[in-house]
A and B are shown apart, each in its own frame.
Chain A
């Protein structure tokens, strides 16, 4: 069945944007609630808690990035999709996108939990802002690793 390869490839790209984006949406939402709570009492904390709120947002960007790279490789962005993409190649694209999709989703939510705790920390100890940023950033490490593997894999898949 021709075109199935392209289908799986696009599925992979869609999943990367979808899952990582959904994770970030949930994460930024959770952190946003905590941040808004802090700002009711301490309006001058806005700048600091906003940064903490944004931290779980990067996974969505990474997901977008992977989706974009995949679609670009597939020629979708230039309006010239690679219909002849073999099933193997399509599945390889799907596989390449999965680290970012799955790790992106899970790490965004867990990073948000750390961000919520850090927002509570900053509300009580504003001087500890530097450290408070690190706890969520630790979680992000794994999203970055997933991003890296997805990018390297996508690069390799092009050669199939």
Chain B
């Protein structure tokens, strides 16, 4: 439960060692380097900055080209074995291998350019093929025409070639032309169009053309040589294009074995681009350069040792100033660390705040478990994560490991609540017994150690509210702790102490009433003296809040007004507590959807052989679906309870996360 203590670092090194030193820092990945670009008019008599934008643009372009080439390769020849996908993480590469590969960079880039050129050609062909196919299609209705399509007649005759809309019979066309001395040739006809050639004497040409126009005669979409010759040429062209495409595809596919080299080159330029970003922000002279930054105090000695033994340099550590914005990294024990990601995606702790990870983790697995609440699902999560972590133990990235571990621990919570509520794939055990073994199993058969939420929803709802109250009280306690730590114990009393009194008193009074107590089946009839005690507690709390809730105002009228408004905040506590009813609702959703699938399976289970198979099929598919949907729901809503109801009480965040200068690569991780 802690924010890691940070040190400021100042490294002064010789410029001839700059490359090696920065690469060492990058591989170590323990130091956040402050990059400060000077403005244009900022001059320094001794130090200068180098403009690295140009060279970085080239690197970034190469990264894009390499990634595009990988996509081209994947499209032409998909990778054979999946490399573990999401969980596998980056492959390790030794420094010697890295240096060997680095020497091949020009050859690899040449290959990347080649792939790009080949792909460009393929794209051109890919555009040409459908064009040729369309030309062939347009030609099809004219195939029976034995003359060139741009044939316009002989010395003394004129020929009109074209189409009429719709399927027009010969007589209608002749009637439309209105004369006998023409030669009509119907080349083809379909419901959409009729292709015709009309030949007449030169002297009649105008008249015939005019009457054809009245029938909406149109010039054909194709022209040129005899259709059959055209078709032949186009077919040859199409075949040539297709074989060219195949050839290009094979040429590209031939590079598939060298995929890893392209992955390497993408990473290589990523490393260099990041390095040059740092170089661009350094202050340097002809001989020396200065690196400023932060690192965790625990890494200070080892980094200093590493740098000073290898290079001539000065490494200085100092404690950050009190008002300095120090980057934040979290450090927690095995139980809490998996929840760090949840905290980080809300906000890192700001100045003077405590790390809320430990507090959040106390409840996280418990709340998650109550929402998913199925022993079998919990076991699946525990075992599933264990298998993944074992399989990829060498290469999995730390962040992914944390997330998976969080789900594993949440699985323990789920297992616990599943046992309490007696849910093992919902009511599957009862359904199996009823369907296959003993149809007369009593309806109230239950495996629950405590109770079934669907049978006693009010009990579980009451318990959910109690969990909410405890959770919220913890949050308020954390605010009091922060206040006291920051030397403001009175704030802790005003903002937390009085509220504790008021809320405990109010709950004590409410639980004894018929309305609230009765709802949960409680008829406590507490002794009058205890009720009086609760009333006094509530009264002290309320008066305290009215008097001190608006203490920042010096005007007493305003102060009391603000105090009364603060007291009105009790309604927000009410809605916060009600919000925990989702613990019951989501738990019920898991259980009821399970039983929906189980009953569906039971309905088809009657016929022999095929019945049990269908039963198993529906159960497996149904529960996979249910687990996926409800695990997502439990995750989202646990986060919500932590973020809104819990963090809302004490935690603001606003710290900048610690982002060390490290290997930001995708495929390989280079290590010493």
Binding site for B on A (CB under 8 A): 47, 51, 54-55, 57-58, 61-62, 64-65, 68-69, 77, 128-131, 133-134, 137-138, 140-141, 144-145, 147-148, 151-152, 155
How far is B41's CA from A91's CA once the two chains are assembled, in angstroms?
A: 79
25 contacts between A and B (CB under 8 A): A54-B632, A55-B636, A61-B593, A64-B596, A65-B589, A65-B596, A128-B345, A129-B345, A130-B344, A131-B346, A134-B644, A137-B636, A137-B639, A137-B640, A140-B636, A141-B582, A144-B586, A147-B585, A147-B589, A148-B461, A148-B582, A148-B584, A148-B585, A152-B458, A155-B457
How far is B643's CA from A57's CA once the two chains are assembled, in angstroms?
A: 22
**Min CB–CB distance B531 → chain A (angstroms):** 28
Partner pick for B629 among A58, A131, A134, CB 8 A cutoff: A58
* B165 within 8 Å of A (CB atoms): no
**Min CB–CB distance A27 → chain B (angstroms):** 15
* B242 within 8 Å of A (CB atoms): no
- Mostly helix, strand, loop or mixed at chain B's interface? helix
Contact A68 B585 (CB under 8 A): no
Contact A133/B579 with A148-B584, A151-B457 known, Cβ cut-off 8 Å:
no
How far is B629's CA from A45's CA once the two chains are assembled, in angstroms?
A: 19
**Min CB–CB distance A124 → chain B (angstroms):** 16
How far is B586's CA from A65's CA once the two chains are assembled, in angstroms?
A: 11
Q: What residues of A have a CB within 8 angstroms of the CB of B640 in the complex?
A: 134, 137-138, 141
| Extra contacts besides A55-B636, A144-B582, A144-B585 (4): CB < 8 Å | A65-B593, A141-B582, A152-B458, A155-B457
How far is B461's CA from A38's CA once the two chains are assembled, in angstroms?
A: 40
Q: What residues of B have a CB within 8 angstroms of the CB of A57 in the complex?
A: 629
How far is B632's CA from A5's CA once the two chains are assembled, in angstroms?
A: 38
* B637 within 8 Å of A (CB atoms): yes
Binding site for A on B (CB under 8 A): 86, 341-342, 344-346, 457-458, 461, 578-579, 581-582, 584-586, 588-589, 592-593, 596, 599, 629, 632-633, 636-637, 639-640, 643-644
How far is B595's CA from A77's CA once the two chains are assembled, in angstroms?
A: 12
Contact B579 A141 (CB under 8 A): yes
Q: What residues of B have a CB within 8 angstroms of the CB of A77 in the complex?
A: 599
Contact B596 A151 (CB under 8 A): no
Q: What residues of A have a CB within 8 angstroms of the CB of B86 in the complex?
A: 47
Partner pick for A130 among B345, B578, B582, B589, CB 8 A cutoff: B345
Contact B592 A68 (CB under 8 A): yes
Contact A151/B629 with A133-B636, A134-B643 known, Cβ cut-off 8 Å:
no
Partner pick for A151 among B342, B588, B643, CB 8 A cutoff: B588
**Min CB–CB distance A131 → chain B (angstroms):** 6
Contact A133 B639 (CB under 8 A): yes
Q: What residues of B have a CB within 8 angstroms of the CB of A137 in the complex?
A: 636-637, 639-640
Q: What residues of B have a CB within 8 angstroms of the CB of A64 in the complex?
A: 593, 596
| Chain A residue nearest to B453 in the complex (CB) | A151
**Min CB–CB distance A100 → chain B (angstroms):** 11
How far is B581's CA from A2's CA once the two chains are assembled, in angstroms?
A: 38
